[in-house]
A and B are shown apart, each in its own frame.
Chain A
Amino acid sequence: MTDTEFLLWVRGPAFNVATFIMCAGLVIRFLEILMLGRKANLAEARGSAAAGGLRTMVARSIPDAGSFQRSGFTVISGYIFHIGLFIVIFLFVPHILVFEKVMGLSWPGLPSNVVDATSVVTMIALLAVLIHRIKDPVLRMLSEFADYLVWFVTFLPLLTGYLAFHRVGLSAPMLIGLHILSVELLMILFPFTKLSHAFTLWMARWYNGAIAGYKGVRS
């Protein structure tokens, strides 16, 4: 297989398979959750469950003052790498072209050098997060193989993307191919690991806020 053939395979059949697995996996995960159902609450409501649920979906993106103080590193590094990932994934012009091709939607992007710098900052933040996970007693205890695997498959597309953008070492088709392949790995693991929190956290926040809102508490 030549480098170009590899790129064509990665962009074609492999991408289709990864997309299918990600979508089907997410549907399965949603069904697994929703089919468990939930008992109706027979206690008389004090407040609105729906208003509470919607509120918490948004409000939980900003930690309470105490958490800012006590979990400062987790909060700050979390913000940096999440916002960084968002910029790199969704605001890099070549990525937007892919989204346009797949979904037919397009939006303005940021200059490439801004995205490039963001990717470096994001990688540094992710490395810091990894070191924190290994060194902090609570995180070390909580962490299992999947936590490190998920870190790796998140970091890899950033690294391969950076190398591809700067044309380091290999041929351009090979670099781009490896970058796309690393993204496909992320897509395949997405629904079956904690990466799926990107989708399920909205449900979790909804339930949390609804349970509290029903009782008249803004959670």
Chain B
Amino acid sequence: MSGPSFERGYKLLREEIDAPTAAFFSSCVHCGMCAEACLFFTETRDPKYTPIHKLEPLRKVWKQEYTFWGKLGKALGFSKPLTDQDLADWESLVYDGCTLCGRCSMVCPVGNDIAYMIRKMREGMAAAGHAPEGLIGATKRAVTIGSPMGVKLPALQAQIRHTEKEFGVKIPLDVQGAEYLCLLSSMEIMNFPEYIGSIARIFKQANVSWTLSSDAFEATNSGIQIGVSDIAAELVQRIVDAAEALKVKAVISPECGHAYMAIRWEGPNLVGKPFNFKVVHILELLDELREQGRLTLKDKEAQKLTYHDPCQISRRGGVIDQPRNLMNMVADNFVEMPESGKMNWCCGAGGGVSSNERADDLRLKVFARKKAQLDAISVDGIVSACSNCRIHLEEGLEEYHMDLPLLSLTETIAEHLAEE
């Protein structure tokens, strides 16, 4: 990527505007309903976090470049053009005060997909050099080291050895012709290695042919969070290359929200061609195995449990029913939070917010929304399917002195497998 400049940023903002974006901006009536759909507004009551307001620079570009009166106004000098300072002023709104959760996009009465446009605006922001340091660092590590957290292959190999010893299961690596290539997120390798053991145990019972790849084990993609499509494409291409080299039928996206968005929905568009393999989220695959009767449990969770929908998996990803089927399979007493599924409230740390230290206080403040949701149902534990949500939920629960265990859905299923 060439060096950031305002000109590059402006050019990208201009190029990112497509027919949907223009239809959205044309339709906004400034009703303000998106504010009440956004946890950054509801928990701070600060109007600057109104979702559509976060797009003001992009709207200005649309108006001045693509509308009759805007062009005329600009030519006659009636309207001020966008400045580098405008972008600098909007940086914290676009990166710290938005997790791309897309709840606003579900509420807007005229149908504006605001999150779709924030994703576009970040392309211009990053190109103009107005992205947070933490995300820039994570993105650099993803490109040079292969993981945003700087996790290298030896670290994975160590976890593989450890897991094989602990559970007595084989973790296949670089197996040609396996049916599934399983991806991981760095957080799973470093913070939640139980995930690797869990899928190994489940796949053993269900007789799934799978492998990890030493060339492409990282599923997360900082490129789509910071908004640099070139880098995002490079990270996706590594997975495509590995999947093609190993001749797998499908790639499994791990328990990570944005990784699923990156590989499943943005991936083919980033690399510019359809994949010749399928992409499934681990929960989709587990639900498929459940349906086929390939998962046998010895018992169920007796505790009262709820499920936190990671935004990019549910609302933005379409994996909504599968986790519920699985929850009902593994738990006797599964209850929904108010406004769950596609209307769930974000934990507050998605979309790159967790990589951005500057936003630490804010993300913990807005966690109050999740607390309110949890307080309404008083459960014994929370199950989720995203290691990023999980880390933030843990921090949030601690911050708000809530003593609730947090489980991964995949790991919970593995815990209850009827193994010989």
A residues with CB within 8 A of B: 25, 28-29, 32-39, 41-44, 46-47, 56-57, 60-61, 63-67, 70-71, 74-75, 78, 136-144, 147, 192, 194, 196-197, 200-201, 203-209, 211-212, 215-219
Contact = CB atoms under 8 A, between A and B. Distances in A.
B53 A217 contact: no
Q: How many of chain B's residues touch chain A, expressed as a range?
A: 35 or more
B277 to A, nearest CB: 10
A42 B273 contact: yes
B36 A141 contact: no
17 contacts: A32-B66, A33-B19, A33-B26, A35-B19, A36-B18, A43-B266, A43-B267, A46-B318, A60-B110, A71-B33, A142-B52, A192-B68, A192-B69, A204-B20, A205-B110, A212-B105, A215-B317
B22 interface: yes
A211 B24 contact: no
A52 B27 CA distance: 19
B405 interface: no
B48 interface: yes
Contact of A197 (B19, B27, B41, B47): B27
Closest 6 CB pairs of A and B: A205-B111, A216-B318, A42-B268, A207-B20, A70-B36, A203-B23
A37 B45 CA distance: 37
Given A44-B278, A46-B318, A207-B19, A64 B26 contact: no
B35 interface: yes
Contact of A143 (B17, B30, B69): B30
Given A67-B36, A194-B26, A204-B110, 13 more contacts: A28-B68, A38-B20, A43-B264, A43-B268, A60-B110, A66-B339, A71-B36, A75-B33, A141-B48, A141-B53, A142-B30, A144-B30, A192-B68
B37 interface: yes
B19 A37 contact: yes
Interface in B41-72: 41-42, 45, 47-48, 50, 52-53, 66-69
A33 B109 contact: no
Most chain B CB inside 10 Å of its own CB: which residue of A44, A65, A137, A204: A204
B67 A32 contact: yes
A44 B275 contact: yes
A200 B23 contact: yes
Contact of B107 (A37, A38, A63, A209): A63
Nearest to B275: A44
Contact of B343 (A64, A71, A204): A64
Given A43-B268, A203-B27, A142 B19 contact: no
Nearest to B56: A142
A139 B30 contact: yes
B274 A44 contact: yes
A29 B272 CA distance: 30
Interface string B9-27: 0000000011111111011
Nearest to A36: B19
Contacts of A29: 26, 67-68
A33 B23 contact: yes
Nearest to B28: A194
Given A36-B18, A209-B111, A142 B318 contact: no
Contact of B68 (A32, A36, A56, A200): A32
A217 B320 contact: yes
Most chain A CB inside 10 Å of its own CB: which residue of B24, B52, B53, B273: B24
Nearest to A133: B30
B265 interface: yes
B76 interface: no
Contacts of B22: 32-33, 36
A137 B111 contact: no
Interface string B104-134: 0111111111001000000000000000000
A138 B41 contact: yes
Contact of A67 (B26, B37, B266, B315): B37
B46 to A, nearest CB: 9
A62 to B, nearest CB: 9
Given A28-B68, A142-B50, A147-B30, A38 B19 contact: yes
A7 B157 CA distance: 87
B32 A139 contact: yes
A207 B106 contact: no
A125 B301 CA distance: 53
Contact of B20 (A42, A43, A78, A211): A211
B315 A197 contact: no
Given A71-B36, A138-B50, A203-B27, A43 B111 contact: no
A74 B269 contact: no
B316 interface: yes
A56 B108 CA distance: 11
Given A64-B106, A142-B53, A78 B18 contact: no
B31 interface: yes
A169 B323 CA distance: 68
Nearest to B264: A43
B112 A204 contact: yes
Contacts of B339: 65-66
Contacts of B275: 44
B107 A64 contact: yes
Nearest to B266: A43
B29 interface: yes
B342 interface: yes
Nearest to A57: B111
Most chain B CB inside 10 Å of its own CB: which residue of A43, A57, A209, A211: A43
A65 B267 CA distance: 34
A136 B24 CA distance: 23
